[in-house]
Amino acid sequence: MIERRKSVRNKTYLGGTIAFNGHRSTMDCLIRNMSPGGAKVVLTHTVTIPDRFDLEIACKDLGYDARIVWRHADEAGVILQPATRAIDVAPRR
């Protein structure tokens, strides 16, 4: 398999929140590896999320604009850009 990543991904086990639809829709995810430019997220159904979304990692106080580059079963690879605006995901009830 040819490695196409620009930087090495570090293994992680971080909880994240995916937000889309004007932040009216949110979904929890698990970030399994991450680099400054990308990550692998694990969730229940990758087909239910759009190609672009906001990704928040609350425990690290980080927010990103994310774009999916691949999907497979319950995983997705994303390209990360620092959020262009403050991400304020409403807490789940």
pLDDT at 50: 95
Could you give phi then psi for residue 9, rounded to 5 degrees?
A: -90, 135
From the list 16, 58, 52, 53, the residue with the least C-alpha distance to 33 is 16
Residue tagged 């403050």 (tokens): 86
Question: What does the block give as tokens for 48?
Answer: 């239910």
Are residues 77 and 70 in contact, defined by beta-carbon separation less than 8 angstroms? Answer: yes
In this prediction the pTM is 0.81
Pair 40, 80: CB distance under 8 Å = no
DSSP character for 50? Answer: -
pLDDT digits (tens, 9 = 90+) for 36-59: 999 999 998 777 899 999 999 999
Average pLDDT of the segment spanning 14-28: 95
